[in-house]
Amino acid sequence: MTITNACYDPETIQIMKAVLEESWASLQPDQQRNFVKSDLAQRILAAAAHGERDPLRLREQALATAFETSTH
């Protein structure tokens, strides 16, 4: 996953940090063992780079991709 040279304002950074922590905490321990937290962060950054700022949508995109990866 390639992330462009995106710049984020402090509010967006706080949103992304919160989304990452909430997303990670929502995973069961066995799911956490199958993921690297930085992968979720990359997915959140990629969605934000495409203009997404809604915390719920950022979380949904990060987790949906994570669950797709875990089922294959």
> What is the Cα Rg of the chain in Å?
12
Q: Look at residue 70 and tell me whether its pLDDT is greater than 50.
A: yes
Question: What sign does the dihedral 36-37-42-48 (CA atoms) show?
Answer: positive
Q: Look at residue 10 and tell me whether its pLDDT is greater than 60.
A: yes
Q: Look at residue 35 and tell me whether its pLDDT is greater than 90.
A: no
Residue 65 has, within 13 A of its CA and on its CB side, a CA count of 18
Give residue 66's pLDDT.
67
- What is the pLDDT of the chain when averaged over all its residues? 88
Mean pLDDT for 24-35 is: 92
**Whole-number Cα distances in Å, 21 to 10, 36, 40, 71:** 17, 13, 10, 22
Q: How many CB atoms lie within 10 A of CB 44?
A: 24
